[in-house]
A and B are shown apart, each in its own frame.
Chain A
Amino acid sequence: MSEIGHGGKPIVERILDPATAKEKIRGLKQMPVREQIAVEVIDIAYGFFSPLEGFMKKADVESVCKKMRLTDGTVWSIPIVFDISDQELSDYGIKEGDSLLLTYKDAPIAIFEIEEIFTYNKQEMAKDVYGTTEEKHPGVKRTYQYKDKFLGGKITMVSKPIINEPFTPFFLTPLEMRKKIKEKGWVRTVAHQTRNVPHTGHEWLMKGAWLSAYGELPVEKMLVGVVVNAIIGEKRPGDYIDEAIVLCHDMLRKAGYFREDVHLTSISLWDMRYAGPREAVFHAALRANLGITHHMFGRDHAGVGTYYDPYDAHRIFDQFSEKDLNIRPIRVLEWWYCPVCAEVTYMGLCGHKDKVQNFSGTLIRSIIQDGVKPPRLIFRPEVFDLILECAEKYGQGDAFVTQKYLENRNPVFTFPKL
Chain B
Amino acid sequence: MAETFPINVWINEERYAKLQEAGLAHLCQEMLAGLKVLRVPTTAEQRDELLKRYPMAKFDSATTKSIELLPRAVKDQIFDLIVEKKTVDVIGEFLKRQG
Contact = CB atoms under 8 A, between A and B. Distances in A.
A362 B68 contact: yes
Interface in B63-89: 63-64, 68-72, 75
Contacts of A339: 33
Contacts of B64: 360, 362-363, 366
Nearest to B79: A370
Contacts of B90: none
B69 A370 contact: no
Interface stretch (A115-123, A259-267, A371-379): A371-379
A375 B15 CA distance: 15
Given A372-B12, A375-B34, A378-B32, 6 more contacts: A360-B63, A362-B64, A363-B32, A365-B68, A377-B34, A378-B33
Contacts of A371: 72
A238 interface: yes
Contact of A357 (B15, B31, B56, B58): B31
Contact of B8 (A237, A363, A377): A363
A360 B37 CA distance: 15
A369 B31 contact: no
Interface residues of A, number: 25
B56 A237 contact: yes
A274 interface: no
A333 interface: no
A112 interface: no
B85 to A, nearest CB: 20
B60 A362 contact: yes
A73 to B, nearest CB: 39
B63 A362 contact: yes
B9 interface: yes
Interface residues on B, range: 20 to 34
Chain B binding surface SS class: mixed
A391 to B, nearest CB: 10
Chain A binding surface SS class: loop
Nearest to B10: A372
A394 interface: no
Nearest to B14: A372
B32 A374 contact: yes
Query: Which 7 pairs, one residue from A and one from B, show the smallest C-beta to C-beta distance?
Result: A372-B10, A377-B33, A370-B10, A375-B33, A366-B68, A372-B12, A362-B60
Contacts of A400: 69
A358 B64 CA distance: 10
A217 interface: no
Contact of A374 (B8, B33, B56, B70): B33
A374 B69 contact: no
- Count chain B CB atoms within 10 A of each CB in A360, A371, A373 and give the residue with the most: A360
A375 B72 contact: no
Contact of B33 (A306, A357, A370): A357
Given A372-B10, A372-B12, A363 B33 contact: no
